[in-house]
Every structure is written in C-alpha cells, then in structure tokens.
Structure 1
Amino acid sequence: MSAASLDSRVGAIRTVALVGPAAAGKTLLLDALLAHAGAIPQPGSIERGSTVSDYDPLERRLGHSLQSSLAHFTHGGIRVHAIDTPGAADFVGQALPALEAADTALVVINAQNGIELMAQRMLGAAAERGLTRLIVVNKIDCPDTDLPGLLAQIREVFGKECLPLNLPAQGAQRVADCFFAASGEADFSSVADAHRALVEQVVEVDAAFVDRYLTDGDVDPRELHAPLEQALREGHLIPVCFCSAKTGAGIGELLSVIELLMPNPAEGNPPPFLEGKGTDPQPYPATPDPAAHVLAHIFKIVADPYLGKMGVLRVHQGRVAKGGLLFVGHARKPIRVGHLFMLQGAKHVDIEEALPGDLCAIAKVDDIAFDAVLHDAQEDEHIYLKPLDFPMPVHGLAISPARRGDEQKLWEVLARLVDEDPCLRIEQAGETHQTLVYGLGELHLRLLLERVRELYKGEVLTEPPRIAYRETISAPAEGHYRHKKQSGGAGQFGEVYLRIEPLERGAGFEFVDAVKGGTIPGQFMPAVEKGVRSALASGAIAGYPLVDLRVVVYDGKHHSVDSKEIAFVTAGRRA
C-alpha cells in the first residue's frame, strides 16, 4: 500500500515488542515510556509491585515477568502498542508470540551484563519474522559499565549494520542525537562520525540519494524517511539507542525514535500469511487497509476469572468492530464480538473498533485458540500465519490431586494453563496411568505448579514420570500349549505350536501363519494372534510389554465340534 493511499489512522500506529534477557529492565523501560507519554503519573517499581505490566500476584511476589502483557499510550499524535515479554529462557513460549504481533522488536540489553543468549535468540527470531530491529542499551547509569566496548561488541556479534542513533552524554545523564543532529558532545566516539555513518548506511539503499550524498556531502535526515524505512525493512540498518529507565536518560529520545523512525503497519515487511491446503501453500499479501476483509491473528490466550476465555489479537487487515461477526479458521459458524477492548496491564479499556496494527482482546468466546486466524469472509478460511518454531517441552513431571476424585478438576486446570502457553504439554500416560506435564525446564514447571495450586485451590502431588520399560528376547525359543476343557456339555479344544525369534530394535512385532495342511483352520488364526498379543502385553519377566520379536505359528490341532475362538485365544496366550 502506498503512503498516499494509507489510512491516516493506520499510519499513526506503532506496535513494538520489548524482548531480551531477564534483568535487562524491559518492564521498567515500558513504565518509563508510559510515564513520559503521560499515560501513567510516574513509573512503577518492581520492589513495590507497582509496574503496569507485571500485574500478576505471582510476578509481583517473584519480582520478574512470567507472561507477556500489553500496554498502550498516545503521544505526539501516535498510538503506540507495546508488549512486555519475560526474559527467562523457560518462558520463551510467552516471548516468541509477541513477535507475531509487532512491527518492531525492541531488543533490550543490560549495559552491565552485555550481550546475553536471550538477546541473540530474540534478535534472530525477529529477523526470521522480517521485523524491524531496534537495540536498546538500558541501565547506562550503572557503575562499571563499558559502553564503548559494549557498542563494539554489539557490532561484532550482530553485524556492522548496528549503528547508534544516539550516544550517552554528560556522564550518561542524557543522550546526544546522532541522526537529526550533525554534531554534538558525547561521552565517547563522535556525534559527527555517528551521523555520517547513519546517513551513509541509509542512502546506500537508494541510488538517487547516493548521487546526492556524493555531490553535496550530506543529506537532510528529514528527507530520508522512505530510504530509512527500506533500510530498516531489509535489515540494512539496525539502530542502537542508549537509555536508563531508572533515571529517565534517553527515554524521551527513545519515544521520539519509535514515533518518528519506526515503521507503521504499512512500512514494515508484510506478515507471513499463507493461503492454501496441503503441502504447497502460497504467500498471501495481507494489506493494512481498514476497508479490506478482516484478517486478525490470536497471539495470546488469557483465562480471565471474570471474562472467561479471552483472545488477544493483532489486526492485520480490515476493521474489527464491536458487535461484528467473525469466523475462526475453518469454522462455519461465526462468533459475535460482544466485548472489544485494549489491555493496559490488568486493566481493560473498552473500544468500538480496532484497525490494522492495533492490538486488542475479545472475551467470552470459547471457540478461539492460540494461533487462530479470525476473518469475516468464508473464502479466507484457508489463510493462516506461518507457524513459529517453538522449542519442544521435554522436562516432564507427574501430577495428581491430593484429594481422590478430583482428577477431572485438575485436568481442566492443566488444560486451561496449556491453552495459555504453547510450550506446555499435558498427556495421560496409558501404561503408567499418570497425568504428565511437560515444560521447558525446572523453573517453567515450578511456576506451573504455583499456578495450578492457585487455580485448583487444593494440594497436588508430584513425582518423576515412571518409565514405561519394554522387554524382549535374546534368542529363539519354542512354545506349545493344548487347551482342552470338558464340562458335561460342549467342550473347548485348541492346540498351538509356535516359535519366537528376536528382531532388530524398533522392529516391533510380527505374527506369521506358517501352518500347513489346515491343522489350525484359518478362521481361528486371528484368535491365536489375539492370545499371543495378550501374552506379550503382560511381559515375561517384570510385567512390561514384550517387543521386537516374531511369533511363527507352525502347527496345531483342532476338533470339529469343540474348537472355538476362545479355545485358540487361550492356547495362543499360554503357548
């Protein structure tokens, strides 16, 4: 969509996700932005549990984010949606979906700790989704920081396209702009050199500006909006900003960067929608046009105690209106948008409509699920967003209620929590009769148990998952059994000769009918196999299933009157 045809309301929307490692200060940074924009009176405190985005009682007690949360503000005529995400690797299932909803990834780095693994992981994931990346170095006020060394490390790890938009000044009490200003004082490096590097990096994507730059020696940055957005879109430029959420240094400048330089919904790369069934889906060109068909994506599920199941969504195309009808994926029956609101931490702000780029929530809709696409035209039912690559939950724990008879209630609580976290998994182990929960690590499961106890309102018991062992054989063997039963009336008779042979690991079970001459009629052979399988299921030594073997039935006897299916089941099992 061209800038000329873009709806002005959509052009005034920015959507950002704050991602990065734990203790980088993302939650306080969001509070600082909210306060600077006038959305809250002053920034909150982690210690007092008064931040906007860490509103869950468990988050406040532990002092760090456990789930993604949303906030929004309007400043300078721009509506900014922000998603705060947890930084611990165990909660990456809450952080990654934020990238599906944002146009810009603010990768926050702790100036004291330097580049951590989660920063690399999230910046890489943002690049894969085609998002604009903005690196924010927070906590520049902390002592013993090597900011020049950190900037050099950022460029070494993430690439030479990482260039500072501003630099710390006056002992990190403020920052000096390097894009719009051609000169100035900074604590290190040179504003003039940084300005020159930025302009050169931007004009490289547009041949006309290259010629002007080579002729004139400089280009007014205010003329560079289009090539700047192209450079951001293509990853040719990854800006770096410095700030301190604690002191407020650089917060106003970061807000201006988001408003003036970061992309609106039409300036970023299009979302990776796909259309089609089967193995060959084609890219679908969603457009941020409020007049087009609706395409919205559920990137978060919340089980609200008052509003029930709540779907948090990003509108990518069209206009979602209160009272409107939407289809969920392939469903034939539409849902009605009865409640439509924006989220401000724990608070709900009712709205009448949401435009492309807006983040909002709908409530009291049981038919929605994580990763669902909402649309208002049935011909769009085969459109979906390219799935994220989540890590596999492999850390398991068996869980059961302390009160007998509460198994169903506990299962419902677990299912609700799995709805909210794509990196949680539950299953009922048939062999061990245990309810198993799987997460990304010990911390993930520990916090899951805290939530379970809170929602279940009772004590739960845990233990390691029991191992479902298997038995097998190491050498061939023979078996024979004659089943004969006479009780005055019709009798039972069946006789089976068989041998068992070991197979390669993983081969499973083979049953071979090698009987010659009709000593066991064909209609009784399934009964023999049924008996054999029954014996294998209970094992030979410790009661575990026998696997990786072949059973060959080669002889037997039958009786024209007394042979019955049950007789050959018994003979096969006992042989």
Structure 2
Amino acid sequence: MPGYTTENIRNIALLGHSGSGKTTLAEALLHRFGAIEAPGNVSKGTTVSDSSPQEKTLGHSIDSAVASFDSGGYHINIIDTPGFLDFLGRTKSVLPAVETIAVVVNAQVGIEPMTRRVMNYAAERRLCRMIIVNQIDAPGVDLAGLMDHLRDSFGAECLPINLPAPGHGSVVDCFFNPDGESAFSSVAEAHTAIIDQVVEVDEDLMALYLEQGQDLSPDQLHEPFEKALREGHLVPVAFVSATTGAGLDALQQLFVELMPNPLEGNPRPFVKGWDEAAAPFTTVPDPDRHVVAHVFKVTMDPFMGKVATFRIHQGTITPNSQMFIGDGRKPFKAGHLYRPFGKELREMERGIPGDICAVTKVDDIHFDAVLHDSHDEDLIHLKPLEFPEPMYGLAIEPTRRGDEQKLSDALHKLSEEDPCFRVEHNSVTNETVIRGLGELHLRIALERMRDRFNVEVDTRTPRIAYRETITAASEGHYRHKKQTGGAGQFGEVFLRVRPLERGEGFRFVNAVVGGAIPTNLIPAVEKGIRQALETGIIAGYALHDLEVTVYDGKYHPVDSKEVAFVTAGKKAFQEAVKQARPVVLEPMVNIHITTPDSAIGAIAGGLSSKRGRVNSTDTISDGQAVIHGMAPLAELGDYQTELKSVTGGQGSYTMELSHYDPVPFDIQQRLMAEFQPQED
C-alpha cells in the first residue's frame, strides 16, 4: 500500500513560457524535499525533467515529465511541461491529469504569450489556478509592477498569498501567519484582501467574519478557499526563487494545505463517446469502485517499448490488474505498475485514485485512452481537449532507398507520442507530409527520426492544401448509356447543389420519390458524387461545404447497374458544380511572431507583402515583442529563413489554422490552368 491516501495527494502541473524556470523550480522542490540528492542543472542537461538528447542540447523542455516527492505524509506529483508554443500539444495534454495548474512567471520578463494561453486553457478546463512568480532575486526586478500587471491581465482575483521580504531572500506569509515586513506591499493589507476574497463565496462565513473581524482559523477558511479556487474566484500568487530556495517551504505549505486534493477539485465529466452534450458520468475518487483511468502521455522507449502514463480517477490498480481500453472488449494485463520519475520508471505495488502511474508494452494503448476494468460503467471518454491545428508542413521522403517501411514505422510512433504531430499522404501530389506547430516542432521530430529510428529524410515545401467550393446554387443532369453487345449500362440522375456555411462539410440528400431511382441504387449515386468531391472539379482539390440533393432520375430494369449510377451521379455533379460559380479556397493562418522590438516594422511590412496583416502587438520585457497577425499559408513556405534574416536569428513563430478564404482571381486562374483532370 502507498504511504498516503487520496486525500493526501496533490497533482500540480507547472505551465508557463519557455525560460520562466519551470524545470529549475521542479528540480529545487525535488531536492528540497528529499526526492533527489542534488538539484540538476538545465544548461548541463542533468535535470530529472529534461532527459532526452534533444532537450539537453536545446536547454529547454520539449515534452512533459512527471516526478514526485513526499513530505509530511503528503504525496505531491509535479508535471513539468514545455514552454515553447511549438510543443503546446504536449503541454495541453497534461490538463486532465491534475487538479491545479501552477503558471510560472519569470519575474524579470513578466507576462509572455504562453502565460496568457495557459491561464485561459486552465480556466476553460475549470482547473484551479495559481501563479508562481519565479526568480524574485534576479537583478532589476519590479515585483510591485508585475503584481499590478498580473491583476490587470488576469483579474482582481489574483492576490498574493505571500510576499517577498526585503532583499528578496525569503517570503512573508499573507494567509496563515501574516507577520513581517514585505519588500513592496503591506502584509496586513494583503492578508485582508485574500480573506475578503475567500469569504465572499460563503455567506455564513462572511456574516461571521463581519461580526468578529479577521479572527478566522485556517480550518474555517479551508473549504471556502477550495470553493474560491474551483470557481476561479481566487488565483493565489506565490513568490519564489528556484535558484536560492527562497519561498520553497512556503510553496510546499501552500501545495499541501490549500491546493485541492483529488476529492476537492472540480469533477471531470466522462461523456458517452465524443458527444459533449451527452449526459456526463462523473467518476468518484473511491478506491473500492471500478477502475477508471485516463492516458495523458505516450512515449516510445527503446528498452521498455510503449510507455503509457495515466491518471487514476477511480478504483485501485495493482500489478497484473486486468483492464480494458475504451469500449474495446479485449482485456490487457498490466504486468508491472510503475511510478514515473522523469525518464525513470519505479515499481509500484498499488495505485489509488489521484495517483499518476505508467504501464509498458501494451501495443493497443494510445493517447487519450480511458482504461477501466468493467463495461458495466456507462462511460467511454473524457471531455476531449481542443488542440491547435498543425499547419507548418514539410514533404518528406527517405534519403536511402529501401527505408520506406522504417520511415512509416517512425512516423507512426512519433504521431502516437504527440497530439499535434500529423502525418498526411496527399494522393493528388503523391506526397507524404508531416505537419506541426512550427519549424522547431518539426526539426525536433526529424532529429528523433534520425537518432531514435535511424531514418534520414529529404524535405521540401509541400503543396498547399487548397480546397474547392461553390458560391451559388445550380442543377446538374447526366444520362449514362452504354451498350456493349450483351447487357448494357443505363442510369440517369437529376440533382441540385447549393453552398453551405464554411466548415459544414458535405451533405447528401435523397429526395427521389416514386421509385424514379430504386432505393438500392441511391448509394451508388452518392458514391459517384463522393468520388468527384475527392478529386475536385476545377483545380484538382477536394470540394467542401456544399449540399447535393438528388431529386429525380430514370432506370432500366435490366441495364441499370451500380456502375451506371456511379458514373451518372459523378457526371451530373460535375456539371452542376461547373455552373455553381466554383472557387478555390486557401488556408488562412493566425501567425504569432516573437521578435526584437527593432524588427517590428520590417516584419509588419513583410506580412503585408504576403497578403497578410498585423492584428496586434504585445510588448514584453528585454526589448522583445510578439506580433499577432494573419496571412495565407501559401505565402509562408520559407518564412523561417526570412524571419531569421530580418531578426538576426532571434525571431521565431508559430501558426494555427484560422479559416479558408477564396484565393485571388489570378491565383485561381493559374491553379485551374495547371490542373489536368484524368479522363474517366
């Protein structure tokens, strides 16, 4: 049995921008409370979290890492996450595993793009949030100004739970024992502010508070404190220095005494299938009920095989427990149960609700899977996360002939590990395209292919994934008649097409009455239409966002076969589309560019020349800014090279799909001229 109960577990994810000190903070906590003998160093590649060769070379996290420590009967799981926007998928994937998101902010730099994103993601997921201001002892920090900026950016619910002491070598408690002097604010005022905020969620306690003043005990405040966290009514701010250890003891006290345990956080709804509107089934953190666990991370280890890391939400798991994956009926047996500690896996005897565990060598297990030991429970899946659409792409092919299968296996394993790494095969261009969130994202993937799977690839810019659609309603008709000496082919189809709203896809409507086309041949008509949808009509790109209604036709009792109505449906559809003012659509992307202030003008001008625009600019410290803009994906094929030139190698960017827009007339004419439709 573990030496703790579910009530004594704390699951906390460290999120924040790259360089905020998340990994160093995790290392300091592990050392402070005895989990490691000495703290590792990011620059030397000796930390628990950053264990891969790429992380050690880069000096930054590129994957999430779980580690834990025990303190005073409490078990604290810490999940360190990447801070680069390129690895946002790996960061978001940990959200279902924790009750608390601790957003780490660099005291010197302040609020950065990733800070804003993860604060929003945590709020959307109804997770309790706190802010950790790190590096408070760095030279030139303006902690008072930063505190004001946090409240301006994220709301008045951001309140300090401790404050730096003069000299910033320690912190002063503002909640449990508000006694001492702060470097920049009144401790008494901070204490009053946070107590006032907490009692607002409990009418009875507020009445008592107004009667007797501030003489409320921590026990009286605990439940309303948890409620304020769950409702987003309070976001405590803690000050620390991971390098000197200032504030670490206070942070540990905050974790164990005030942050929610698995019984206190907002419940996670498990829904039937993927339908968010379905009546949710909510797990109960009871060790005696059926097992329910959720896989939030999958990695491929050269020695251990597939490693699946999961959070137990209900029930108890032991080595050799038999479990199912989702609605699959084939059970698997967890031969060993592990506790992840960075890249190390430590044997466990038992996992209880709230525990983070791992199993290995289960081929069918996958990211986002729900593990359970009974089909009696009416549940399939957690409410799914929404990941950014990977838009940065490279067409790849193996450098060495004969490596095609090795490349396929490597791509499959990489896509299993990363929810924002996609592999596509474009049948029109016969290209294999990998897509990610940015240049760094794909560069790391290519390095892993080379180092882990011994696969070298050649890369090039892929063709753009244009689309076709229609802008008007029209009708089409085609009679297919073929006589070959024996039984012939006959089929006649009348149909209408009309445009749908962008993003609605394709809709097929059967409005045939009176048996003009027999019911058993209607699927053949739809099959022909779908064939034309895939190959395009005017430029060779798939058609989207339209409705096709088949309303009439003719058939022959002998010669009408499926193949005849496939052809008739396809030809009638092609005729209708050509008269429905078809257009080619191009993907428009939101682009986020981090750059020195001195390059803002050049970047804005460059985007304008690419048919793009700047929407807004956020200024951050140290002469850096983030430009938020929009541009056609087709114009950004070699943007990394251009950005490096403009910024002296200091710029970086990520992008995500925004929507599809019609291409300019001259580009559509060129795409149509290049299209050579195949003859049927």
TM-score when normalising by structure 1: 0.83
**Residue 182 of structure 1: CA displacement?**
2.9
- Retained in 2: the 8 A contact 1:400–1:435? yes
- Retained in 1: the 8 A contact 2:281–2:379? no
2:13 aligned residue (13, 17, 22): 17
How do 1:284-299 residues align onto structure 2 when only pairs under 5 Å count? Answer: 284-299=281-296
Report the equivalent of 1:83.
79
Report the equivalent of 2:333.
336
SS of the aligned residue for 2:207 comes to helix
How has the CA–CA distance of structure 1 residues 61 and 218 changed in structure 2, closer, same or farther, with 3 Å as cutoff? Answer: same
1:354 aligned residue (351, 357, 360): 351
TM-score when normalising by structure 2: 0.70
Which one-letter code corresponds to 2:251 in the other structure? L
Q: Which moved more, 1:453-462 or 1:105-114?
A: 453-462
**For the residues of structure 2 that align with 1:466 and 1:369, how far apart are their CA atoms?**
30
**Residue 15 of structure 1: CA displacement?**
0.5
How has the CA–CA distance of structure 1 residues 277 and 163 changed in structure 2, closer, same or farther, with 3 Å as cutoff? Answer: closer
**For the residues of structure 1 that align with 2:375 and 2:483, how far apart are their CA atoms?**
65
How has the CA–CA distance of structure 1 residues 404 and 207 changed in structure 2, closer, same or farther, with 3 Å as cutoff? Answer: same
SS of the aligned residue for 1:306 comes to coil
SS of the aligned residue for 2:167 comes to coil
Q: Which moved more, 1:206-215 or 1:70-79?
A: 206-215
Report the equivalent of 1:527.
none
Q: Which moved more, 1:537-546 or 1:21-30?
A: 537-546
Report the equivalent of 1:517.
none
1:451 aligns with 2:471: no
- Could you give the per-residue CA deviations for residues 251-275 of structure 1, whole angstroms, max 9, x where no partner exists? 1111111111111110111113224
Which one-letter code corresponds to 1:100 in the other structure? P
Count of equivalent residues: 538
2:148 aligned residue (135, 152, 155): 152
How has the CA–CA distance of structure 1 residues 460 and 232 changed in structure 2, closer, same or farther, with 3 Å as cutoff? Answer: same
**Residue 406 of structure 1: CA displacement?**
1.5
Report the equivalent of 1:411.
408
**For the residues of structure 1 that align with 2:252 and 2:167, how far apart are their CA atoms?**
21
**Residue 538 of structure 1: CA displacement?**
10
- Could you give the per-residue CA deviations for residues 433-492 of structure 1, whole angstroms, max 9, x where no partner exists? 1111111111111111111111231321001113578999xxxxxxxxxx999xxxx99x
SS of the aligned residue for 2:39 comes to coil
How has the CA–CA distance of structure 1 residues 533 and 274 changed in structure 2, closer, same or farther, with 3 Å as cutoff? Answer: closer
Q: Which moved more, 1:190-199 or 1:538-547?
A: 538-547
**Residue 209 of structure 1: CA displacement?**
1.9
Query: RMSD of the alignment, in Å?
Result: 4.3
- Could you give the per-residue CA deviations for residues 3-52 of structure 1, whole angstroms, max 9, x where no partner exists? xxxx9711111110000111000000000000110111221111111111
**For the residues of structure 2 that align with 1:538 and 1:283, how far apart are their CA atoms?**
40
Question: Is the radius of gyration larger for structure 1 or structure 2?
Answer: 1
**Residue 207 of structure 1: CA displacement?**
2.2
- Could you give the per-residue CA deviations for residues 273-322 of structure 1, whole angstroms, max 9, x where no partner exists? 22468674112121111011111000011111111111100001111111
1:57 aligned residue (53, 57, 64): 53
Moved over 6 A (4+): 468-472, 503-508, 530-548, 572-575
1:42 aligned residue (29, 32, 38): 38
**For the residues of structure 1 that align with 2:441 and 2:318, how far apart are their CA atoms?**
37
How do 1:310-321 residues align onto structure 2 when only pairs under 5 Å count? Answer: 310-321=307-318
- Retained in 1: the 8 A contact 2:403–2:455? no
Report the equivalent of 2:162.
166
1:251 aligned residue (225, 240, 248): 248
How has the CA–CA distance of structure 1 residues 532 and 285 changed in structure 2, closer, same or farther, with 3 Å as cutoff? Answer: closer
**For the residues of structure 2 that align with 1:540 and 1:211, how far apart are their CA atoms?**
71
Which one-letter code corresponds to 2:318 in the other structure? A
**For the residues of structure 2 that align with 1:360 and 1:189, how far apart are their CA atoms?**
42
Work out the percentage of aligned pairs sharing the same amino acid: 50
**Residue 151 of structure 1: CA displacement?**
0.5
Unmatched 5+ stretches in structure 2: 470-481, 490-496, 507-526, 547-562, 572-677
How do 1:130-279 residues align onto structure 2 when only pairs under 5 Å count? Answer: 130-223=126-219, 224-275=221-272
How has the CA–CA distance of structure 1 residues 153 and 401 changed in structure 2, closer, same or farther, with 3 Å as cutoff? Answer: same
Which one-letter code corresponds to 1:399 in the other structure? I
- Retained in 1: the 8 A contact 2:66–2:341? yes
Report the equivalent of 1:520.
none
1:383 aligned residue (359, 380, 385): 380
How has the CA–CA distance of structure 1 residues 256 and 277 changed in structure 2, closer, same or farther, with 3 Å as cutoff? Answer: closer
How has the CA–CA distance of structure 1 residues 11 and 532 changed in structure 2, closer, same or farther, with 3 Å as cutoff? Answer: closer
How has the CA–CA distance of structure 1 residues 246 and 435 changed in structure 2, closer, same or farther, with 3 Å as cutoff? Answer: same
**For the residues of structure 2 that align with 1:539 and 1:319, how far apart are their CA atoms?**
53
Unmatched 5+ stretches in structure 1: 1-6, 473-482, 495-502, 509-529, 549-564
**Residue 215 of structure 1: CA displacement?**
1.7
Report the equivalent of 2:303.
306
**Residue 337 of structure 1: CA displacement?**
0.8
